[in-house]
Amino acid sequence: MSSNAENRLELIARIRVGDARAEEELVAIYQRSLLLITSVRTRDREAAKDLTQDILFAVLRGLRDGQLREADKLDAFVHGTARNLINNYLRSKARRRESDLSSAAEPIVEPIAQLELIEKQRLVRSELESYSVLDQQILLLSLLDGHSLVEIADRLNVSHDAVRQRRSRVIRKLTKKFSGLSQM
């Protein structure tokens, strides 16, 4: 058994006996990635934060109750829990027919984290605004609307190759520049 698997096994065992530090370790391992996944799926940062908390809470409760027997399956267990809770959230949101326009903004709970977030958003905006309008349009149609390269080329009256090259260049530039940013 690899050391990584042994560490996981030990972590799970500690959580099962109620070790608070082990729980903190598990939260540190998964919090960022879960927040990213929930943000992508819900398209709502505030909702994603709440959902991440719910997922971590559900995972910890499951581990305490001994629902996971194999340490190797911890990632799958976390992911399965996340998917279930995200799907539940999306279903309930569709049922509620909540209006995004009228919903009031949540009060800021963590001012420093909020300031960091605003700064990152400002940097990304500044970077995106430095791109040509066509590049921004390509990114918008790709990332937001989910159009294929062919559809984008058709809509913007640009060749397929040009769209592919531009998108690839812009994304590489963007990820290279901002993937070094600290955690969310």
Partner 1 sequence: MTSMTTYDRCKMDCRQLDRDNLFVQYVSGCLEPQIESELEEHILRCNQCQAVLEALLFAREDLQARAHIIRTQTQPSRIWARWVLVAVSSSCLLILGVTMYRFQRTRARQQAVSHLSAPEDFQENTRVDLSGPPSPTPSITNDVHKRNYNGLTKPPDIPQTGQQTPELEPGPLPLTPKDSGTKPSKPGQDAMPGEVAWSREQLSAIDSEILSKVALPNYTFSGIGKRRHSGGAGFPAGAVNLPPAIDSSSPAAADDLFQSAMLAYVEKRYADSETLLDAAIKIAPGAPEINFYLGISRLALGKPSEAIDPFRTVLAHQDRQYSQRAHFYLANAYMKLLRLPEADQELEKAASIPGPLRADARSELTNLRAILANSTESQKIDDTKNTH
158 contributes a contact to partner 1 by CB under 8 A: no
**Restricting to residues 18-37, which ones interact with partner 1 according to CB under 8 A?**
25, 28-30, 32-34, 36-37
| Residue 4: C-alpha distances to residues 1, 9, 11, 80, 82 (Å) | 8, 9, 10, 21, 22
Is-contact 143 132, C-beta < 8 A?
A: no
Which of residues 22, 147, 153, 166 is near partner 1 by CB under 8 A? 147
Is-contact 58 67, C-beta < 8 A?
A: no
Which of residues 78, 85, 153, 163 is near partner 1 by CB under 8 A? 78
Q: Among residues 116, 124, 129, which one has the least CA distance to residue 183?
A: 116
46 contact partners, CB below 8 Å, separation of at least 6: 106
When the beta carbons of 64 and 158 are compared against partner 1, the nearer one is 158
When the beta carbons of 88 and 168 are compared against partner 1, the nearer one is 168
Is-contact 58 103, C-beta < 8 A?
A: no
Report the interface residues with partner 1, using CB under 8 A: 2, 4, 25, 28-30, 32-34, 36-37, 39-41, 43, 45, 72, 75-76, 78-79, 82-83, 94, 97, 100-101, 120-121, 124-125, 128, 133-134, 136-137, 139-148, 151, 156-157, 167-168, 171-172, 174-175, 177-181, 184
